Amino acid sequence: MENLSCEGRKSRVAPVDALSFRQQEQLFHELAQFSRSGLTLGHAFEVLSRNSKGKIGARLGALRTNFQASGDVGLTFRDAGFSESDAAIIQAGEATGRLDAVFLELGDYYRQLAEARGTIITRSIYPLLVLHAGVVLLAIPAAMLNDGWPTFLAQSLPILAGFYAALMLGALFWRIARSLLSHNAAAAGFLMRIPGLGHFLTNWTAWKFTSVLSLYAGAGGSLLRALETAGASCENALLKSSTIRAISEVQKGESLGGAFRNQPGVPELLLRSIEIGEHAGRIDEESRRAAEIFKTRTLSALDAFAQWTPRILYTLIVLFTGWRIIALASDMANYVDSFLHIAT
């Protein structure tokens, strides 16, 4: 199935427009309901694509076309524009006969991300409005003392332009960081050592790893295959490469815990869950417990970011206001001094 002809590959569709977290939550929820009812994925794609418009409709149309072309579920989602992580998790669900559970978990995952992002945006709206109002209002006195609009624009536009440039650079940094984390083991190791960010990335990718591992192991699939799939779906190149090396050592006769013990980028909690699960014969339970802990840590970090974002904005507002007041006082002093000089 994977070695399709060029004609088969050309018939596939990959929408450009990305789905929002809420749209992905909706899509995976609906697919879970179809899977739980016993209907095939092909039927689900057909029914949902008839009743969906916009980005979701386009994505479902691509899924339908790609599934008809390949019949491979993981490849279908990958070629339709879904992330490598989502495609690997869905492929694991197909292999273990638990697609409904996988779709439910993905829907819940994107729901939590949507809620976290919504919280950050909601808490940032008011300080952003205050910041814009402060920039505009504090530029008015300087404009009145000098030459009007040119001074007003010179006082306000550079500040706002710099603020939005900083936001764009932050978004660009996050996109580059995610790409490096997924594809470059050395870069992933560096990013995971950055204070704050590294802690978040470690927990976030380990959450994905342990979720897939528990799902695959719980369904009775091959443990080494479960580890390989978990490594491929975690979006952490360092953890993926460490998993591949650990699997190779296990195949040579090393114990599972021993194979992972000296590998870089493996969180302590993940290592403990693997060792305890190996000795107790309950890797599915231990990895599921670890997944819940990593999930809690990840969401707590997002919540902390949502709390600190407005605080940082308010700090910037106070610093900017103080600077503008000092500059305005200086302008006033110069204006009075010039007036007195002319009067004398």
| Local structure of 46: helix, strand or coil | helix
Domains, the chain = 6-82 (no CATH), 107-185+301-343 (no CATH), 191-295 (1.20.81.30)
Residue 244 has pLDDT above 90, yes or no: yes
pLDDT band at 335 (very low <50, low <70, confident <90, very high): low
Give me 206's structure tokens: 């380990």
Residue 250 has pLDDT above 90, yes or no: yes
Report pLDDT for 10: 45
Q: Which of 9-13, 218-222, 232-236, 260-264 has the lowest mean pLDDT?
A: 9-13
> 283-286 — which CB contacts under 8 Å span 24+ positions?
283/213, 283/214, 283/217, 283/223, 284/213, 284/214, 284/217, 284/218, 285/214
Report pLDDT for 9: 45
Task: Round the average pLDDT of the chain to a whole number and report it.
Answer: 84
| Local structure of 51: helix, strand or coil | coil
pLDDT tens, residue by residue, 32-79: 998 888 878 888 888 888 877 888 888 888 888 888 888 888 888 988
Report pLDDT for 344: 61
CA–CA distance, 52 with 177 (Å, rounded to integer): 34
Report pLDDT for 4: 40
pLDDT tens, residue by residue, 155-194: 788 888 988 999 999 999 999 999 999 999 999 999 999 9
Query: pTM value?
Result: 0.78
pLDDT band at 239 (very low <50, low <70, confident <90, very high): very high
